[in-house]
A and B are shown apart, each in its own frame.
Chain A
Amino acid sequence: MPFISKIERQSDYNRFSSSTPIVIDNGASYFRIGWAGEAEPRVVFRNIVQRPRHKATGETVTIVGDHDPALLKYFDCTRSGPRSAFDSDVVFQFEIMEYILDFAFDRLGATGSEINHPVLITECVCNPVQSRSKMAELLFETYGVPSIAFGVDASFSYKYNQQRRVCDKDGLAMCPGFATTHVIPFVDGEPIYKGSCRTNIGGFHVTDYLKQLLSLKYPYHLARFTWEKVEDLKMEHCYVAQDYVSEARLFQKGAKEAEEKTKMWQLPWVPPPVEEPPSEEEIARKAAIREKQGQRLREMAEAKRSSKINELENELRGLEFLLNQLGHVQESDVPSFLAETGYVSRQEVESARNKNVQSLRKAKGEQKSEQDEIEKTDPNEKYTLINVPDDMLTTEQLLEKRKQLSIKSMSDGRQRLKQKRQEEEQERGRKQQLEEERRLANPELYVEQLRASYNDLSEKLNQRKRLKTNGSSSTNGNGLAGSVGRGERLNAAQRERMRLLTTAAFDRGKGEDTFGAKDEDWQLYKLMSKDNDDDDEEPDEDSIELARISSRLQELDPTFVPKVETGSSQPAEVPRVRPLTKEDFQIVFGIERFRCPEILFSPNWIGVDQVGLDEMAGVSMRRLSCNNERLEERMTKSILVTGGSSLFPGIVERLEAGIRMIRPCGSPIKIIRALDPVMDAWRGASAYASTPGFHTQTFTRMDYYEKGEDWLRNYQLKYSL
C-alpha cells in the first residue's frame, strides 16, 4: 500500500516558536499535518472518524483515522461505519472535522492552553464561503489559532514542482483527486481560477466502481471486498489503457498479451478432505451387519405371523365348538343360548366362522382365488334360489334370493370386464403385429413416421399446457409457478373467471334482478369457483399415446432422447452440487484493471455527465480565453499531473494522446507527472508557509470579524511571494 499512515505522537512540539506555522493538507482521503519548512508532514492519517461502542464497557468512543484492524475487535463497529467530514470535496460536517483536528494536534504533540501557531490549511478550488468561514471559526474559537491562511492543494503542488523546474510558470495543473478532478491554468506562476474546471469524479469513484464490479462478478465472495482491500487492489493492479477500445478487443479475442495482463488474486482455500473408498473389510463388515438386521426383521415378521395364525386357529376352534353345540340345542332356545356369546343367530356364527377361515388362509399365504375357482365351477349350485318364483318362497328365502341375485350380477360384471380386457389385449397384439410388419417392411420410414407423430403429439400437449399456464415458461424463465409476474397474462380459464366476477360485482341496479329465475343462473357459481380452473389431471389419450410412442422409439432408435418436460408445474431439477475447487476462490482481474480508471476519462460510464480528464484541458483553456497562441503553447508545454489518482501507470501517455486530439496540429505538448503526486501539495504548502512573506497572506481573528463574509469570499492567496 503506497499510502501509509503515520500516527506516532511527536515529542518536540515545544521546540517550535509560536511564529512557526503549522501546515495542514486537509485532503478528502488523507489528512497531513506538519511544520512549515520541513520536508515531510509529521502526522498522516485517513480523514475519517468512527464512533464505535466499546464492547466491555458499552461507552461510545471516538476513533480517528485508520488503525490496526486487529485492535478494533474490542469495539462494536456495526452501528456506525467510518464517516468523513467531506461532501464531494467540501468540508460540511464540522463536528467530525473537530474530532480530526483534535487528533491531529494531539499527535503533533500540542500542549498548553491553545494552538499558538499560524495555520495554513488547504481547501478545494472556490470553496463555498460557508465552509470556509465555519473552518475559520472552528480554528479561531476552539483552538485559539492566532492567524489562518487558506490555499488550494493543486496550486501548492504546482508551485512546488515549478520551484524544482519540473514545470514552467505558465502551465496547467491537472489534479485527479479523491472525490473530484480539477484543472487549474497557471499564468505567470499564479493560478487563474476563472479558467479552472472541476469534474466530480476521482479515486473514490474508481474504487467504488471496482468494488461494485467485483461484487457483481463474484457475489459469493462479497464479504472479501472491503473498501480497504479494494483500494489496495486498485493501487496494485489498475492502469490506464492507451486506447480503451483496442485494449478491450485484445481481451475479447483472448489474445496472448491479454492473458499476460490478467492478474489473479487467490483467496485462501483449503481443499476439502478426499474421502477414501471403503476397504474390503469395511464393505464385508457392513454387509454382515445388514444381513444380521435383515435376519432379525424376518424373524420378527415370522413370529408375528405365527402368533396371528395361532390366535385365528383358537378362535376358529371356539366357533366350531359353538356351532357343534348349537346343533344339539333346540331351535327355540338358540337366542338364549347365544346371549352370552354376543352372537344373535346361527347364521351370524357361521358367517363369522367363514370370515375367520378366510383370514386364516390369507395369513397362511394360501391363494384366495381357489375359492373363486370353486365359485365358478358350479354357479348353479350357489344360486339355487334364483330360478324359483318369488311366491314360492318364504320371506327369509326371498331375502336370500335377492342377495344371490346381486352377487350373481356382480360376478357376471367381473367376467364381462375380464372378457373385454382380453379382447383389448388381442386388439393391441394385432396392432403391434401390424406395426411390426410395417416396421419390417421399411424400418427407416417407420421410425421417421413415429418421430413425426411424436413431435406432433408433444407439440400439441405443450400447446395445451401453455394455454393452461399461459406461457410463463416460454418468456424468460423468471416467471415462477403460480404467480402472475411481469409480462404474463392469465390463462383462458382464469380470465373467464375474472370476467364473471367483475360482471357480477358491477351488474347491480340495472333493471330488475332476475338472477335465479332460471336454473342455469346457478351454474355461474360453479364457473366462478376456484377449483374450476385446474381441470382434472387425468392423463388423457394423447399423453398415453405419447408415452407409448416415446417408449417404442426408445426401443428402436438409440439416438432418440425424449423431451424433458419443463413445465412450470414440475419441480425444477435440483442442481447438482459441484465440489468447490481452487478456481472458485480466484478473483480474476482482466479488463477491470483498466476499465475502472477509464472512468476518469469517460465519467458518463458511471452516470456523471461531464467531460473527462483529457477534455478538461481544452475546457480550461477555452475558459481562460486569452486569445494568445504563444501563451497557450507555453501552457501545453507544461502540463503537470498531480493528485492521488494520477498514480495510475499510463495516465501521462494517455493524456498526451487525448490532449493532442483537441489541440491544433503540431502544437507542442508536454505532460509531466509531479515528483510525488501525493505529498507535493503538503510540501509546497510547507515551503510556502516558511517564506518570509507568508504572514502577509494570513488573516487574524480580528480581520475575520471586522472585514466580514464578503471579504472572506474574495480572499485569495498570492502564491508567488
Chain B
Amino acid sequence: MENEVLDAELVLPNYLSFKRVQMYDKYPKGQSRGRHWKHLKQIIQAENYQNYPPDEPNYVNIESPPSMHPCKRICDITGYEAPYYDPKTNLRYANTDVFKTIRSLPNDYVQRYLSMRNAAVVLK
C-alpha cells in the first residue's frame, strides 16, 4: 500500500480488538459473499402487520395518503406550467417552442423524461 493511503488510514483494518467476532470469521472468504439480506419490501411482508390492531402505528400504516389537492402539472422539459400534453410522447409541455423540442427529441430522451415522473413505458 502507498504511504499516503496508510497515513490517511483509508482502509478499514481486518482485525479490530474490540470485536468479539471478526469480519473474516463471520463472513469467511470464498463463500458466497452475496448473502441475501431481505429488502425492505420483504421485511415488511415478513412483519405480518395485518395481524396487529390497525390503530397501532407501524411502518406501513404511518405512510402518508395520496394528496387531495389537484396536482400541479408542469412542463417536463422547462418546468413551466404545462397546459398541454402531447399524446404521441405523453410529455407535458408549456408552449409551441417546447412542443417543437419534444417532437425532435429522440425516443430514449423522451423515455428518460417520462421515467423521472415514473410514467415511462416499461417493457416486460
Contact = CB atoms under 8 A, between A and B. Distances in A.
A607 B104 contact: no
A34 B37 CA distance: 29
Interface string A222-264: 0000000000000000000000110011011000000000000
Contacts of A591: 78-80
* Chain A interface residue bracket vs B: 35 or more
A61 B37 CA distance: 21
B11 interface: yes
B16 A248 contact: no
A702 to B, nearest CB: 17
Interface stretch (A189-197, A296-304, A401-409, A495-503): A189-197
B10 A67 contact: yes
A501 B4 CA distance: 73
Interface in A590-609: 591-592, 595, 602-609
Nearest to A213: B116
A198 interface: yes
A102 B72 contact: no
A419 to B, nearest CB: 57
B106 to A, nearest CB: 7
A605 B117 CA distance: 5
Interface stretch (A139-147, A429-437, A509-517, A690-698): A139-147
Given A95-B35, A95-B37, A209-B116, A71 B10 contact: yes
A193 B58 CA distance: 9
B40 A252 contact: no
A603 to B, nearest CB: 8
A20 B79 CA distance: 52
Interface in B67-122: 67-69, 71-72, 74, 78-81, 88, 94, 103-104, 106-107, 109, 112-113, 116-119
Contacts of A90: 40, 43, 59
Nearest to A595: B79
Interface residues of B, number: 61
B94 A102 contact: no
A105 interface: yes
Contact of A103 (B8, B12, B46, B106): B12
Contacts of B94: 252
Given A94-B37, A209-B116, A611 B81 contact: no
B27 to A, nearest CB: 6
B28 interface: no
A130 B74 contact: no
A87 interface: yes
A248 B26 CA distance: 55
Contact of B44 (A128, A209, A248, A249): A128
A61 B40 CA distance: 27
A92 B46 CA distance: 13
B123 interface: no
A607 B20 CA distance: 45
A603 B67 CA distance: 9
B23 A102 contact: yes
A478 B71 contact: no
B107 A98 contact: no
B16 A102 contact: yes
A440 interface: no
A26 interface: no
Interface stretch (A110-118, A309-317, A323-331, A522-530): A110-118
Given A113-B17, A130-B46, A194-B55, A610 B67 contact: yes
Contact of A198 (B1, B43, B62, B116): B62
A592 B77 CA distance: 11
Interface in A550-594: 591-592
B71 to A, nearest CB: 5
Contact of B79 (A199, A212, A592, A609): A592
A665 interface: no
Interface string B28-39: 000000010111
Nearest to A596: B79
Contacts of B69: 615
Nearest to B113: A216
A111 B66 contact: no
A99 interface: yes
Contact of A128 (B47, B79, B119): B47
The winner among B37, B55, B79, B81 for most chain A CB atoms within 10 A is B79
Nearest to B29: A60
A587 to B, nearest CB: 16
B59 A92 contact: no
A125 interface: yes
A252 B23 contact: no
A89 to B, nearest CB: 9
A131 B43 contact: yes
Contact of B57 (A87, A95, A193, A602): A193
Contacts of B37: 92-95
A9 interface: yes
B64 to A, nearest CB: 4
A64 interface: yes
A591 B27 CA distance: 49
B2 A128 contact: no
A125 B59 CA distance: 7
A88 B56 CA distance: 22
Given A74-B2, A130-B38, A216-B112, A111 B18 contact: yes
Contacts of A142: 19-21, 26
25 contacts: A61-B11, A74-B2, A90-B40, A90-B59, A102-B23, A111-B18, A112-B17, A126-B59, A128-B43, A130-B46, A141-B20, A144-B20, A199-B64, A212-B112, A216-B109, A252-B78, A478-B106, A478-B107, A602-B71, A602-B72, A607-B119, A609-B67, A610-B64, A610-B67, A616-B64
Interface of A: 9, 54, 56-57, 61-64, 67-68, 71, 74, 87-88, 90, 92-95, 98-99, 102-103, 105-106, 110-115, 124-131, 141-144, 193-194, 196-200, 209, 212-213, 216, 244-245, 248-249, 251-252, 476-478, 591-592, 595, 602-612, 615-616, 619
Top 4 A-B pairs, shortest CB-CB distance: A607-B118, A87-B40, A193-B57, A591-B79
